[in-house]
Amino acid sequence: MQQAGGSSKGAGSSNQTRALLSMTGVALLINYVETMIIPGVPTIQKDFATSLSLVSWITAAFLIVGSAVSPLFGKLGDSYGKKKMFLVALTFYTIGVGLAGLSPSIYFLIAARAIQGIGFAIVPLALAIIAETFPKERIATAQGIVSATFGIGAAAGLVIGSYIVQYVSWQWAFHSAFILSVVLFVVVAKGLPSGTPGTGRKVDYSTIVMLMSGISLFLLYLTEAPYVGWLSAYNLASLVAGVGLTVGFFIVESRRENPLIRLDLLKIRNVLVANCVGLVSGVAMFMLFYALVYYLEDPNVLSLGLGLDTIAAGLTVAPATLGMLAAGPGFGRTVIRFGPKPAVIAGSSFAILGMLLYLINRATRLDVAIESVVVLVGVVGMIIPIVNMISISIPDDSVATGLGLNTMLRNIGGAVGAVIGTTIMSTYTTALTVAPGVTVAFPDPTAFNYIFYLGIGFLLFAIAVSLAAKNYTFRARSAPRDEPTALGAEPPEKPAA
């Protein structure tokens, strides 16, 4: 793999450093923004006098649009240059953040979040830029650093966002993020290497409307089901239309000369395994995240929860994000030395262990903090090898497209996991009197236990799927340095473009 921006060792090293710094900055920003607003959701609901169902679209709009556009921007990056499309995506993200802080109504805020969702295509493009810039034997470590940095951004968002919302306003949570976005845009525009030019192939836009509409309607069904009913006529219409459009997209794409998503890539064993593990792990992890947020803030009576306020809850989970930062490069080196298959199994095993610990003992903040470290270290251990499998296994001119598809599937898994988690928590509840004449239903221990058991089941399935992966490892030759050779098994050959 060529090092973008120059053939000399010095130029290559400089480009790698600049690319890594730029991408870690983006990882910090994205996760800071997406977690800093969480503490403000109840305040936003109160300020706009809206329903819980409608305010949930603050997150849903971002997730739905982000899932739908990731494959498109991946394809555009492969065709017209990854840096160029990265800056376009970052522009949408910055505009969306800026508008969100000026929202005069809940509907305006949801629309602004949808614009931010377009910018979520930054994530697969960032990972593809790393794959393009670094030699093969260093891709996993670099992607591990970027993936682990997401945890630092999440921790900063929860803690800083809690203070801003509590002591200033939720609008200033977005205003501060807008300032950071503008600064980062300038840094990336000036500092990120240009990279290799795109293939110049025209992108067939005729089917993108089918994919975006299909995915959006499917996620709309999942998002609305807890509020309007799984079998309501309105919601079932969204499901049927979404599935129909998505299936139709894949049928039409299979006949295209230059498809948006190369379905033949799914015939590559490691690409198929990585996408299956990504989908399943997304379900398990978002089930856990929702359960954890509710458990930490549920009243500290009848073993319902720990009764923490928003700031204390964020600080309880913060050490886990530091664990992610430490573990990311380590799992990257594991991929290099032992291959992606052992790394996926190890990461899944860590996550399973953490969920078992939640089941055994979650009585104190320290217990939850330790168990969260174990689980989130496992999450990083799963993400890094599946991203590397895609980066290594598919043609160089389709890496961003492949990572965009994987991002979409992980987001869909996350949406499914969030719905499963909230459905279980709304099914198994305990009613408490919080004020004279006022009774509130809170998720009870049975709900949390079922979520952890189900999460373990999904993770065991991920391990079973990962056993089908073709393993490979890397070792750098003495000369030239950027040409890796395999240890134990050859890296999979990339199919022709």
**Per-residue pLDDT tens digits for 125-146:** 888 888 888 887 788 778 777 7
Q: d(Cα 284, Cα 454) in Å, to the nearest integer?
A: 8
Q: How far apart are the first and last CA of the chain?
A: 15
Q: Tokens 């969306």 label which residue?
A: 96
Structure tokens, 314:
């964020």
Q: d(Cα 337, Cα 110) in Å, to the nearest integer?
A: 45
Residue 293 has pLDDT above 60, yes or no: yes
Structure tokens, 399:
């890496």
Which of 200-214, 308-322, 357-371 has the largest mean confidence? 357-371
Q: How confident is the model at residue 273 (pLDDT cuts 50, 70, 90)?
A: very high
Mean pLDDT of 146-170: 74
pLDDT, tens only, 63-116: 778 877 888 888 888 888 888 899 999 999 999 999 999 999 999 999 999 999
Q: d(Cα 43, Cα 396) in Å, to the nearest integer?
A: 46
61-70, 199-208, 218-227, 245-254, range with the lowest pLDDT: 199-208
pLDDT at residue 358, as a whole number = 94
User: Using alpha carbons only, what angle is made at residue 231 by residues 230 and 233, rounded to the nearest 5 degrees?
Assistant: 120
What percentage of the chain carries pLDDT values higher than 70? 89
Give per-residue burial for 354-364: e unless 16+ CB within 10 Å, then b. Answer: bbebbeeebee
pLDDT at residue 178, as a whole number = 93
Residue 56 has pLDDT above 80, yes or no: no
What percentage of the chain carries pLDDT values higher than 90? 24
For residue 476, the tally of other CB atoms under 10 A from its CB is: 16
Q: How confident is the model at residue 28 (pLDDT cuts 50, 70, 90)?
A: confident
- Label residue 200 left, alpha or beta by phi (over 0 means left) and psi (-120 to 50 means alpha): left
Q: d(Cα 373, Cα 367) in Å, to the nearest integer?
A: 10
Residue 260 has pLDDT above 70, yes or no: yes
Structure tokens, 216:
């959006």
pLDDT, tens only, 403-421: 888 888 887 887 788 778 8
By the 10 Å C-beta count (0-12 exposed, 13-18 middle, 19+ buried), 209 is classed as exposed
102 versus 227: which is more confidently predicted? 102
Q: Is the torsion defined by CA of 74, 79, 81, 85 positive or negative?
A: negative
Cα dihedral 387, 388, 390, 393, rounded to 10, equals 180
Paired with 438 in beta bridges are 435
pLDDT at residue 218, as a whole number = 82
Q: d(Cα 468, Cα 483) in Å, to the nearest integer?
A: 27
pLDDT at residue 52, as a whole number = 65
pLDDT, tens only, 450-478: 999 999 999 999 999 999 999 988 764 44
Mean pLDDT of 324-349: 88
Q: Tokens 């459009």 label which residue?
A: 245
Contact in structure between 382 and 344 (CB atoms under 8 Å): yes
pLDDT at residue 364, as a whole number = 92
Q: Are strands 475-476 and 438-443 parallel, antiparallel or unpaired?
A: unpaired
pLDDT at residue 297, as a whole number = 82
Q: d(Cα 214, Cα 239) in Å, to the nearest integer?
A: 9
Q: d(Cα 155, Cα 326) in Å, to the nearest integer?
A: 14
CA-to-CA separations, 36 to 24, 165, 384, 405, in angstroms, rounded: 18, 9, 24, 27
103-117, 164-178, 185-199, range with the lowest pLDDT: 185-199
